[in-house]
Chains A and B, each alone.
Chain A
Amino acid sequence: MTAIQDTTVRSQPRTLSERLARLAGRSPTHIILGLIGFIWLVPTIGILITSFRPSADMRATGWWTILVEPRFTLGNYERVFEGEGMLQAFINSVMITLPSTLLPLVVASMAAYALAWVKFPLRDTTFLIIVAMLMVPVQVGFIPLVTAFRESGTGLLTNYGAVWLAHTAYALPFGIFLLRNFFITLPKDLIEAARIDGASNVGIFRTIVVPLSVPAIAAYGIFQFLWVWNDLLMALVYAQRNSIQPMTVKVTQLLGTYATEWSLLAAASFVVMIVPLIVFISLQRYFVQGLLAGSVK
């Protein structure tokens, strides 16, 4: 009974008092959501503000005092880029991330095409094995691969080779899974018709399957880009020379050296965050799609 009365009130707030009553009835929701928004934003805002505060201020007072005595500087950013080698680390992050994103895109698309549209024996079994490989943790590779790379005399651990190859390989099960499931939804008639017209597999792949699958490939590309950019563990293991280490590793080294130099650490960690934040905000739709699809990884 009351429920029906409630809905009538809710749908016709005519007077101001009715509106206020409606607001008060709903205010727990707003208060809780407001509190949640606050808890989820404030830590990040704190680090952002600290990255712009002079380190003398940082040592004296909390970052929230910025409200009463606003003083900002770019000095922390200058220091991490110039004095602490963050610029080189930024370049290294780019050098690691671009090939580690593009290579798996190409290799996984090709494999996914074969699994979706080329007939061969044990195809479904092959695909199930790849689905199983989604769950193989990267740690399984550490001991055998680091040992093999060291003994090979190729220097892969000290140029970018090892980290590129490892990122590519461990991205494949998810990429193949995602793209094969997308490719298989493409209209069968279109591909049949192309085959009858004499198109080769390479032709069908390049001119039909890839152009029609841009959203899925983009989602996977963004997912992989952020994954590699944000990765710490693979870089610690497979990039074993200072001059090739990405920003995530650099930040942990800075943390070891300057445990309480928060303005410096804040600037460094914000530099790591900025690229993913831009990607996230500008390509949010693809990112969420990739994430939804990636909930199996």
Chain B
Amino acid sequence: MTAANPPATGSGTDDAKRPGAGFPWAALIFLGPAGLLLLVFLAFPIVYTFFLSFNRGRGGEFSDWVGLDNWIRLFTQDPNFLRLGFPPSGALWNNVLWIVFYVSLTVLLGLILAVMATRVRYEALIKGIVFLPQAIAATSLAIIWRFVYAPDPETGLLNAVLGVGGVGPLSVLGSPDTVNWALIAVGVWGSVGFATVILSAAIKGISSEVLEAARVDGANETQIFWRIIVPMVSLPISVVAVTLVVNVIKLFDIIFVMTGGGPGASSRVIAFSMYQEAFPQGQFGYGAAIAVVMLLLLIPVMIFNIRRFRAEAVQS
């Protein structure tokens, strides 16, 4: 809350010198609509959702104040949300699985693809193909993959391929043991293009002299990848990774369309639980508590963004 920032570059002439200045009417007029919308739809709900998380709120009727009940239930009595044990389970734990495997696989595949694509003439084509899932609705993407995973080997491509190898048929979405891995694979498929495009731009910024020098010194391609390319694009990698972590916390469509959180509640994630508890189940207070958890999980990213932005502002 340091208001004493030096004014950023590009500020206009001093309005104080202009006739009629004093109160910044122009700023108010230009910022007014945005300010109003942000106050009503973002700022007010942050406070109010927290407040409502102390009410039962059944069916949207907020008449039953229950203190910390929703919060206690959320972390200790709801195995669908979090069950600590071995192995742990629940929506929050699934988010951890997603963060570990989806983020690392997407970044790694994105990096490898970005490096390999720069060496071929059809670079734009292959990047375009992998990027395509970014343009289509997650709803369609989920249906595409439900179809691939269909248990009938005369319908689902996966089981047709496994059948050739004498395996299956498997219902990968129907078993709690495989469902999360099958969903994470879909997530990776959908996001690798994003990682590739961002990282490819960064890799092209590495001077070819550095790479040539390493090759002359006898480094092989694996060494060049891990010892030169990865460290030199570590900042873009961290930006991509943070974006993917945010994706995981907000992840909803794929789960809703592909499994509805099932079988049982084994593939739920936090954003799915928030919707499921609040709307189909009508537990508004409980849903409000989950929404607050989501906001809390995103606060570190908020701080990361502000720090990064301020660092950039100082440099420029």
Contacts and interface: CB of A to CB of B under 8 A. Distances in A.
Q: Are chains A and B native binding partners rather than an unrelated pairing?
A: yes
Interface of A: 1, 3-4, 26, 29-30, 32-33, 36-37, 39-44, 46-47, 50, 58, 60-64, 107-108, 110-111, 113-126, 128, 130-147, 150, 165-166, 168-170, 172-173, 176, 184-186, 188, 191-192, 195-196, 201, 205, 226, 229-233, 236-237, 248, 251-252, 255, 260, 262, 265-266, 269-270, 272-273, 276-277, 279-280, 284, 287-288, 291-292, 295-297
B215 to A, nearest CB: 5
A122 B113 CA distance: 45
A143 B288 contact: yes
Identify the 5 closest CB pairs spanning chains A and B, nearest first. Answer: A169-B41, A230-B137, A111-B34, A114-B30, A120-B24
B143 interface: yes
Interface stretch (B79-87, B94-102, B244-252): B244-252
A141 B41 CA distance: 6
B9 interface: yes
B140 A272 contact: yes
Contacts of A108: 34
A133 B38 contact: yes
A128 B31 contact: no
19 contacts: A1-B218, A33-B122, A36-B113, A40-B129, A43-B189, A64-B157, A114-B26, A118-B26, A119-B15, A131-B305, A139-B294, A140-B294, A143-B52, A147-B284, A169-B38, A232-B137, A276-B135, A291-B197, A295-B198
Contacts, number: 322
Contacts of B1: 125
Contacts of B302: 132, 134-135
Interface string B265-290: 00000010011001100001101101
Q: How large is the interface on B (under 10, 10 to 19, 20 to 34, 35 or more residues)?
A: 35 or more
B26 to A, nearest CB: 4
A111 B42 CA distance: 16
B222 interface: no
Contact of B279 (A29, A61, A236, A296): A236
B31 A115 contact: yes
Of B1, B14, B42, most A-chain CB atoms within 10 Å: B42
B44 interface: yes
A262 B126 contact: no
A135 B14 CA distance: 33
B216 to A, nearest CB: 6
Contact of B33 (A111, A118, A186, A280): A111
Contact of A150 (B35, B60, B157): B60
Contact of A43 (B62, B148, B218): B148
Nearest to A185: B10
B38 A173 contact: yes
B201 interface: yes
B155 A170 contact: no
B306 A131 contact: yes
A226 B48 CA distance: 30
B284 A143 contact: yes
B167 interface: no
B45 A117 contact: no
B45 A145 contact: yes
B205 interface: no
Contact of B139 (A130, A138, A272): A272
A169 B239 contact: no
Contact of A143 (B24, B49, B295): B49
B220 to A, nearest CB: 9
A113 B29 CA distance: 11
B5 interface: yes
A29 B49 contact: no
